[in-house]
Structure 1
Amino acid sequence: MQTPPISDEFSPRELLARETLYQGRIWNVIHDSVKLSETGGTIERDYIDHPGAVSVLVMDEEERVLMINQYRHPVGMRLWEIPAGLLDVEGELPLDGAKRELWEEADRTAEQWSILTDVFLSPGSSAEAVRVYLAREPKLAPEDQRHLRTEEEAEMISAWVPLQDAVAAVLSGKIHNPTAMIAILAAQAARADNYANLREANEPFDVHPYLRQG
């Protein structure tokens, strides 16, 4: 039996009705009535209307990964993560958002950018799409040009972790942030061909439900 190509595909359905059930500070909860194309029936679905996000795996010349540690209230833990944030600046391109988050959360810029992967973190209940970048040749921002972090971000600490140690931490259940886990394992896989097959950093983020072109 021939194996079909493994690639997710766009599959739009007719939207019959939409209602905002809850309007929050960052995201809303939406109720949609949708017509199925195969059976002609309808389904009712509630989901989180999410602006999407970007995250950045920063790697230095020694193939160490920059990890940041941050308190996350819903789970009551400090988690080791990578720089990340919402695409909540109107008109901002994903790559520019990633550069902003790297500066805000890690006081750094980077010379070389590429895409590690794109991911839906919970596609059954949220529209959140995350683009994960690999940033190389990092540079520390001058002290007088660094972002003033507040609230939980004011408690952030950072550490450089060898890629192999980060992979081991993921597999041993010591790292739980999903985008950090995905980025670390993707970087390990990309390392096998010297990162040669990664996509260009400015490629359109078309899988994002609100950034699709055409």
Structure 2
Amino acid sequence: MEFEEKTISRKEIYQGPIFKLVQDQVELPEGKGTAQRDLIFHNGAVCVLAVTAEDKIVLVKQYRKAIEAVSYEIPAGKLELGENADPMAAALRELEEEVAYTGKLELLYDFYSAIGFCNEKLKLYLASDLVKVENPRPQDDDETLEVLEVSLEEAKNLIQSGHICDAKTIMAIQHWELQKK
């Protein structure tokens, strides 16, 4: 069985600082005709499951305009242009900027955020041996963050209450829980 869709044409709809939106016309496999695909191209991002010596994870509380709500999340950030070669440096930067920590990083896995329409690939790192940074990099000008350190049970309660509602953070907490078993 054939699965691949062949691109007939591509029209760029929007190019911004974070992503590009295109509209592709594709030929479907097995002679099923054509279809339109609206796609978002993103440079990628990093996210960090930061675990303290007290066995707590570090979260940031912030407002997310897309959902018009406050969310609790693991530290994360987009890869700047050219950073694809060194995503670990980007993860360390985000860890310091958002929660004023540094530590030893281990890549846990890569995953796509919304594979049906977006190519954003995230790299999830585990940060251990955390050390507080005395004079951390400043937070991004457009971010207002509050830092929290929570136990596994508290994190699970935040998921149940809907305060943790993004996939990367839920995946990281589930990974953390599985490692404890």
**Which letter maps to 2:41?**
D
**Equivalent pair of 1:66/1:82 in contact (CA under 8 Å):** yes
Listed as ranges, the gaps of 5+ residues in structure 2 are: none
Work out the CA distance in 1 between the residues paired with 2:46 and 2:101. 16
Q: Trace 1:4-153 onto structure 2 (pairs within 5 A).
A: 13-39=5-31, 41-92=33-84, 93-115=86-108, 117-143=109-135, 146-153=136-143
Listed as ranges, the gaps of 5+ residues in structure 1 are: 1-10, 193-214
Percentage of pairs with the same residue: 30
RMSD after superposition: 2.1
> Could you state the TM-score of these two structures normalised by the residue count of structure 2?
0.86
Which residue of the partner structure matches residue 185 of structure 1?
174
Query: C-alpha displacement at 1:87, in angstroms?
Result: 1.4
> Could you state the TM-score of these two structures normalised by the residue count of structure 1?
0.74
Work out the CA distance in 1 between the residues paired with 2:162 and 2:140. 29
1:157 to 146, 153, 157: 146
Are positions 1:168 and 2:157 aligned together? yes
Query: C-alpha displacement at 1:68, in angstroms?
Result: 0.9
Aligned residues: 178
Work out the CA distance in 2 between the residues paired with 1:74 and 1:172. 19
Call closer, same or farther: CA 1:96–1:21 in 2, change over 3 Å: same
Give the 3-state SS of the residue equivalent to 1:151 in structure 2.
coil
Work out the CA distance in 2 between the residues paired with 1:75 and 1:168. 20
Q: Which has the higher strand share?
A: 2
